[in-house]
Amino acid sequence: MKRVLFVAYGSGHIKMLIPVAQALQASGRAQPVVLALTTAAPVARAAGLDVVQFKDFVQPGDEAALARGRQLVQDLGGAVGDPDESAAYLGLSYADLKADQGSTAAAAEYRRRRRQAFLPVRTLTRILRALRPDVVVATNAPRGERAAIVAAGRLGLPALCVVDLFAIDEVQWIGQPGYADRVCVLNAAVRDFLIAAGRRPDEVVVTGNPGFDALNAPEAVAAGRQWRQQRGWEDRRVLLWPTQVEPAVHPFDGRPGDPTLPGRALQQLVQWTLARNDAVLCLRPRAGETPPEVPTHERIVITGQHLPLPALLHACDLVVTLTSTVGLEGHLAGCRLVQVTGSVFDEAMPLLRYGIADAAVPLESLRPALDRWARAQRRTAQNLTPATQHVLSQITGFL
């Protein structure tokens, strides 16, 4: 049987590819295998997919790279879910950086950009040669996924890049002719953007994002309404803050960021909520993340991963975000959306410009925006097209 290799890291990227891999597996057309990066492994395994990781491709001669990787793991601080995988990923990626740039330049680049300096094409070439896939499918992420598509091109393997959002930053490489045989994008505006950057029209296809297909499923709508009713929130305005991290330095261009911005925005949300008896604030930490410290109060609720995001979105009225994808998902599910500007990633998430956000305001204007949009009625949830099948058809065209 033919084999398709899917490459993605955790968060929304692996969730974008899982429905496609599952549909491919169900079709019997090819065997899907997932190269799961960082936190993607448990998610892909839970979906019933075959998973491989960097540590599965360690070979004799990698001892120094693994030792360096273990050192880099320690430098990260905090708990690591799979120390062996983290050591292999960091160590092999650093070894590639060193081979590409030399020891001195690699050390300087890593000090400046940390993991954003990695583009492990050599390691991905090793993995592709070992797995011998017929097609490679990767997301628009800039490290392992980008390296997989570059390696596939050098080996003459068909490759598809599935873009989650707007490709504002990623156009630097996705806009280059020859980067992947097909680029699957969210909508016509993103397609036009990539074509204007230099891609041929036949190389860029509007498929939608498969990770959004389940947002407005009837069971998700019903579960959200039930959860809200059980908590007695029918007459309250329910806000959602998906936790997010702001880097000190932009990973692509080095512009300074403000790591305190998410915490300061959350503080304002808490104060606004507690000042109004009809407001509820839900916080949704990312998988594996320690929830932020907030006052203990019945109207401040930390939602765990046990409640699927689509259901949670149908229990809420308004999403507030910096640049989290949850903002777009909330919009598609019918929530109002307020974006707090000032993130180093603002240009990559032009939510107001694309008609997605109801307001995009600096932190000092957040409270008036909440006063306005928390009272607004929910939108009508959008009727989403089955992006999974559209992407699957592009893959099978290469089999």
Give the pLDDT of residue 203: 96
CA dihedral 70, 76, 80, 84 (to 10 degrees): -20
Residues 194 and 253 in one domain: no
Residues 175 and 263 in one domain: no
pTM of this structure? 0.82
Residues 191 and 46 in one domain: yes
Answer whether residue 380 is part of any domain.
no
Residues 82 and 196 in one domain: yes
Taking the C-alpha atoms of residue 27 and residue 24, their distance in angstroms, rounded to an integer, is: 5
Answer whether residue 234 is part of any domain.
yes
Answer whether residue 108 is part of any domain.
yes
What pLDDT, in 10s, does the model give residues 108-165?
Answer: 999 888 888 999 999 999 999 999 999 999 999 999 999 999 999 999 999 999 999 9
- Average pLDDT, integer, range 283-310: 89
Residue identified by tokens 């860029």 is: 204
Residues 12 and 95 in one domain: yes
Answer whether residue 352 is part of any domain.
yes
Answer whether residue 381 is part of any domain.
no
Answer whether residue 91 is part of any domain.
yes
Confidence of residue 330 (pLDDT cuts 50, 70, 90): very high
What pLDDT, in 10s, does the model give residues 185-230?
Answer: 998 989 999 999 999 999 999 999 999 998 988 999 999 999 999 9
Residues 75 and 183 in one domain: yes
Residue 259 has a CB neighbour count (10 Å cut-off) of 13
Residues 49 and 105 in one domain: yes
Q: Do 174 and 151 contact (CB within 8 A), yes or no?
A: no
What pLDDT, in 10s, does the model give residues 228-277?
Answer: 999 999 999 999 999 999 988 887 677 888 999 999 999 999 999 999 99
Answer whether residue 306 is part of any domain.
yes
* Domain at 303, CATH number: 3.40.50.2000
Does 380 score more than 90 pLDDT?
no
Q: What is the token pair recorded at 25?
A: 């597996």
Residues 183 and 257 in one domain: no
Residues 189 and 112 in one domain: yes
SS3 for the chain is CCEEEEEECCCHHHHHHHHHHHHHHHHCCCEEEEEECCCHHHHHHHCCCEEECHHHHCCCCCHHHHHHHHHHHHHHCCCCCCHHHHHHHHHHHHHHHHHHHCHHHHHHHHHHHHHHHCCCHHHHHHHHHHHCCCEEEEECCCCHHHHHHHHHHHHCCCEEEECCCCCCCCHHHHCCCCCCCEEEECCHHHHHHHHHHCCCHHHEEECCCHHHCCCCCHHHHHHHHHHHHHCCCCCCEEEEEECCCCCCECCCCCCECCCCHHHHHHHHHHHHHHCCCCEEEEEECCCCCCCCCCCCECCEEECCCCCCHHHHHCCCCEEEECCCHHHHHHHHHCCEEEEECCCCCHHHCCCCCCCCCCEEECHHHHHHHHHHHCCCCCCCCCCCCCHHHHHHHHHHCCC
Per the prediction, the chain carries an average pLDDT of: 93
Domain that holds residue 344: 218-373
Give the pLDDT of residue 7: 98
Residues 244 and 138 in one domain: no
Residues 296 and 254 in one domain: yes
- Quick one: which of 273, 305, 308 has its CA closest to 289? 305
Answer whether residue 379 is part of any domain.
no
Q: Do 122 and 99 contact (CB within 8 A), yes or no?
A: yes
CA dihedral 42, 47, 48, 49 (to 10 degrees): -70
Residues 201 and 161 in one domain: yes
CA distances from 394 to 24, 61, 134, 195, 218 (A): 11, 39, 13, 18, 27
The count of structural domains within the chain is: 2
- Average pLDDT, integer, range 270-297: 92
- Average pLDDT, integer, range 353-373: 94
